[in-house]
Amino acid sequence: MKLLVVVGTRPEAIKMAPVVVGLRGVGVPTVLVTSGQHPRLATEALAVFGLTPDIRLEATERGENDLGPLLADVIARISPVLTEEAPSAVLVHGDTTTALGAALAAMSLRIPIGHVEAGLRTGDRSTPFPEELNRVLIDRLSTWCFAPTRRAREILLREGHPEDRVLTVGNPIVDAVRYVQRQVELTACSQHPELAPFDLDDLSEVVLVTAHRRENIGPPLRRICAAVRKIPARVVWPLHPNPELERIVREELEGAEHVTLLPPLSYPAMVRLMLRSQVVLTDSGGVQEEASVLGRPTLVLRELTERPEVLEGGLVKLVGTATADIAAAATTWLDRTPTMHADDAPLGDGRTGERIGRWFGSAFGPLSP
């Protein structure tokens, strides 16, 4: 018996790393595969957790919006691996093109599929696109749905998934963030080579911004940039590698004295920067979760979120992409300086990887001593 775990992007790698560690910790043979969707970023993220891909696939280099060809490429490259490895099951995460491609390839070979972070929904097929449709399709293809929260489990049950195939295990982002937090929280920003040149330790207020959603590229992103110009604090923006996104942000913000534009950061540096920030602005699902776990006030630059649990603690707020709304909310957060108590209870207890590992260990055979 062995499992094949497929990741393609950095967020997938970060969230599935604790799952791989949990599986191997109870003796479940696990083959870790990177699809080549974001090869460098995914491999670097895995290394933070002491993991190296067993199989590296080289996807054909394509633009960020070439979704159809990328999906076909993932299916074509993962299918021979599945045939050769003949795993007992394939594990995928979330809602990426890699996850959907690997699930479709496994389905065509009648290999059972486990979907980690199943059951997330906005209820709008176009927001986020294509992720909302991807995760619905992956859930339908899956033998087991590993729901991160009770709400996600209830959604899956309402959609008709068999009760014994839906398991509430928590969100592995809590495992990952806590692991990295323990490594970096006692360090200064100046001790991280990626952050050292910017003297962040001496500033009174820092605002972190991330944005990468396809639906925000264009006028919404320009409105976000206009809001950033109005924020009365140092703004640090690690740019996503999407060249169209980078072009717009640089057009709008390069030269603004209070804005620092950075290349993509390593995961430890990103966690350290979140810990240093008074406010986080993001359209990322993963950053919503990470900031929530770390107790950082966060404004979500979207109209909908598939993670409503993080809104309930009061430190995460949907704000949309209107310039005035973002600027006003960010200024309010900075003036208010709310108490930053981390509350990761809605997302889990930091033992998701261990829980999935033990479930597979007990389902397929006795646990290793």
Rounded-to-10 torsion of CA 227, 230, 232, 236? 50
The answer to whether 212 is a known catalytic residue is: yes
- From the list 56, 214, 229, 258, the catalytic residue is 214
- From the list 73, 95, 132, 344, the catalytic residue is 95
Q: Provide the token pair at 332.
A: 């309010």
- From the list 240, 272, 302, 351, the catalytic residue is 240
Q: What residues contact 91, with CB distance under 8 A and at least 6 apart?
A: 3, 4, 5, 6, 16, 19, 113, 114, 115, 116
The answer to whether 131 is a known catalytic residue is: yes
- From the list 73, 77, 93, 117, the catalytic residue is 117
- From the list 12, 131, 283, 354, the catalytic residue is 131
End-to-end CA distance of the chain: 17
Q: Round to whole Å and give the CA distance between 36 and 59.
A: 5
Q: Provide the token pair at 222.
A: 């320009």
Task: Give exposure, 176-202, as e/b (b: 16+ Cβ within 10 Å).
Answer: bbbbbbeebeeeebeebebbeebebee
- From the list 24, 140, 165, 212, the catalytic residue is 212
Residue 130: is the preceding peptide bond cis (ω within 30°)?
A: yes
Catalytic residue numbers, as ranges: 95, 117, 131, 212, 214, 240
